[in-house]
Amino acid sequence: MSSRSAPPEALLEAAAGGDRVALARLLSIVERGGKEAGDVARLAYATPPPYTVGITGAPGSGKSTLTNQLVRVARGGWPRSTPADPGTADPVTADPVDQVAVLAVDPSSPFSGGAILGDRIRMQEHATDPSIFIRSMATRGHLGGLALAVPEAVRVLGAAGVPLVVVETVGVGQMEVEVASAADTTLVVVTPGWGDSMQASKAGLLEIADLFVVNKADRPGLHDARRDLEQMLDLSAPADWRPPVLATTASSGEGVDELWAAIARHRSHLEESGTLGVRRKARLAQELRRVLTARVLEEVRALSVAGRFDDAVRSIADGTLDPYRAAEELLPPVATRSDPLT
């Protein structure tokens, strides 16, 4: 049922039935972008999104080991201690977590898709576990990049029946922070002594973190790192959720149960306060903006291929055209002067 020419509907049905090759194929389509990705998106966005946990932090902070441990604990199900308000739109109905998917996002890697079923050694523990699906995502063929592909991949996983998706990024580059923060719960992982190396990123990380994790907590400096984070949090504007600072030692698994419980508390908070729906809608608006921008950049690229873009640049260089008039000629306004909705 996962033959190369199978239509997206058939692939999704197969993926929902446990066919991992079909699921991998769908994700490859999403990663490539273009018309076929649009067909997959049409199906995937019809299903409510899965719960997503984003994990970001500096390279070397042990995010992969932590993800590995977190997935293990999450398979035990959501803790029952924090029941959701039955009045919210998307309550915690399913305490068990029968499947978990990990999207390992590495914008700098030339490889993608190849990590299915465990070519990442650190994830080997789960490689043969049918309830855990691991996928690397790197470059993407078309414009829009990972910032577009990752949310779509999350929706495909949700439509295939995966209730929990962990999005892990390699570093704290702008794109990676963007991708990791487009989650329901975003974890920022630091290590004792992080302060010196990540000074510049602090403000940005504070903005996106729902939870801070000091990993490698068995190293010296845990106390200082916690105090540093708590002081930062003291200085930031008061909000209805103050990110807790947790300590883990991912290599031994210490603190991971508490981390999972904190994620569950954040989920309950989002659901009870109604923030979950608001945040998800804001993310959809961001996704739509990205798709719109990517479409236009594709048009600009098409112009470029047709030589018209270069012609325009040449005329500007000659002084016979300016960028504004060139834009007007290359891309006449459409949305604002007519109603293209039919």
Residues at the contact surface with its own copies, assessed by CB under 8 A: 37-38, 41-42, 44-48, 152, 174, 200, 277, 280-281, 284-285, 287-293, 295-300, 302-303, 308-310, 312-314, 316-317, 319-336, 340-341
Based on CB atoms, which residue is closest to its own copies, 20 or 308?
Answer: 308
C-alpha distance from residue 199 to each of 210, 214, 223, 254, 314 (Å): 19, 16, 18, 27, 44
Based on CB atoms, which residue is closest to its own copies, 5 or 336?
Answer: 336
Dihedral of alpha carbons 232, 236, 238, 239, sign: negative
Based on CB atoms, which residue is closest to its own copies, 128 or 320?
Answer: 320
Tokens 């070519």 correspond to: 119
Report in angstroms how near the CB of residue 133 gets to its own copies at its nearest.
22
Tokens 């290359």 correspond to: 330
Report in angstroms how near the CB of residue 258 gets to its own copies at its nearest.
32
Report in angstroms how near the CB of residue 307 gets to its own copies at its nearest.
12
Report in angstroms how near the CB of residue 339 gets to its own copies at its nearest.
9
Q: Whole-angstrom Cα distance, residue 97 to residue 117?
A: 19
Based on CB atoms, which residue is closest to its own copies, 83 or 323?
Answer: 323
Q: Whole-angstrom Cα distance, residue 277 to residue 282?
A: 9
Based on CB atoms, which residue is closest to its own copies, 273 or 309?
Answer: 309
Q: Whole-angstrom Cα distance, residue 248 to residue 215?
A: 5
Report in angstroms how near the CB of residue 91 gets to its own copies at its nearest.
17
Based on CB atoms, which residue is closest to its own copies, 137 or 262?
Answer: 137
Helix axes of 145-159 and 35-44: crossing angle, nearest 10 degrees: 40
From the list 51, 15, 308, 41, the residue with the least C-alpha distance to 183 is: 51
Q: Are 164 and 51 in contact (CB under 8 A)?
A: yes
Report in angstroms how near the CB of residue 173 gets to its own copies at its nearest.
10
Q: Are 249 and 217 in contact (CB under 8 A)?
A: yes
Amino acid of residue 256: V
